[in-house]
Amino acid sequence: MAIKQHEKILLTGAAGGLGKVLRESLKQNCTTLRLSDVVDFGAAAEGEEIMLADLADAAAVDAMVQGVDAIVHMGGKSLDGPFLPIMQANILGTYNLYEAARKFGVKRVVFASSNHVTGFYRQDETITADAPARPDGNYGLSKAFGEDLARYYFDRYGIETACVRIGSSFPEPRDRRMLATFLSYGDLHRLITACLTTPALGFSIIFGMSNNSVTWWDNSRARHVGYVPQDSSDVFREAVFARTPAPDFSDPAALHQGGAFVRMGPYEQ
């Protein structure tokens, strides 16, 4: 598949864990990669531009978005916590991003949503993208808002979005739960590439996971995206079982798909 289909892609959250990974791999997808984050993360390399922006600042977001032809939105808070910072970065921030996309004619967005939109489903059920949201905290709520926002901007303005409900994207699964939620870095890039290049994306929700034997998610509603995972958590299974204790099913974290997120909070503002 020819993946360099874009002139300029904006990657938000470029200083974050997955942002750093995608900074390297997304260079294959475009002529120029525009990188953004709220914190200074150094100088641009060849083929890169850097534009710092606080997502809650609409004027800064406008400047960040103007001139790009696609957006990979990894920016914002990536963990649960008190509502106000999440509201600023993820709710207001994503609103500002879509408004800028509308104003400057950006037609395709890959939105880093999260498995925590549906974290309160149990680990003994398999869900599709049609299952109603069951957020497991402020963070999951903000991502559910982002998905609704993306749907609205598609219905109203024709901006296509892939809401990628990222599972656990790390070098390898850290615990037994992640055997189900694991998304390798290679598959993360393959998935984003599929979202950026598929001819008709529309508004799509896709679970971001590798080809794990044990899974709670069914991506059959997103076949049109053309994502074919090539990695699997299965190769780590034995080692993870050897180094982790058997689950304690009196702990809600062991019962629900969101894991420990389901028992975080409440928070003081």
Active-site residue set: 139
Q: At closest approach, how far in Å is the CB of 262 from ligand 15L?
A: 11
Q: At closest approach, how far in Å is the CB of 78 from ligand 15L?
A: 4
Number of residues lying near ligand 15L (CB under 6 A): 8
Q: Give, to the nearest 10 degrees, the angle between helix 93-103 and helix 138-157.
A: 20
CB 164 within 8 A of CB 110: yes
User: Of 78 and 197, which CB lies nearer to ligand 15L in the complex structure?
Assistant: 78
Q: At closest approach, how far in Å is the CB of 66 from ligand 15L?
A: 28
The dihedral through the CA atoms of 110, 94, 76, 208 has a sign that is negative
Q: Is 168 in the site for ligand 15L (CB under 6 A)?
A: yes
Q: At closest approach, how far in Å is the CB of 121 from ligand 15L?
A: 13
User: Of 166 and 192, which CB lies nearer to ligand 15L in the complex structure?
Assistant: 166
CB 14 within 8 A of CB 37: yes
User: Of 145 and 197, which CB lies nearer to ligand 15L in the complex structure?
Assistant: 145
Q: At closest approach, how far in Å is the CB of 14 from ligand 15L?
A: 15
Between residue 39 and residue 78, which ones bind ligand 15L under the rule CB under 6 A?
78
Between residue 204 and residue 243, which ones bind ligand 15L under the rule CB under 6 A?
none
Q: Is 198 in the site for ligand 15L (CB under 6 A)?
A: no
User: Of 36 and 115, which CB lies nearer to ligand 15L in the complex structure?
Assistant: 115
Q: Which of 123, 138, 181, 197 binds ligand 15L (CB under 6 A)?
A: 181
Q: Which of 112, 204, 99, 209 is nearest to 156 (CA)?
A: 99
List the structure tokens of 178. Answer: 């992640």
Q: Is 256 in the site for ligand 15L (CB under 6 A)?
A: no
Between residue 102 and residue 141, which ones bind ligand 15L under the rule CB under 6 A?
114-116
SS (H, E, C) 239-253: HHHHHCCCCCCCCHH
User: Of 44 and 214, which CB lies nearer to ligand 15L in the complex structure?
Assistant: 214
The dihedral through the CA atoms of 91, 93, 96, 100 has a sign that is negative
Q: Which residues bind ligand 15L (CB under 6 A)?
A: 78-79, 114-116, 166, 168, 181
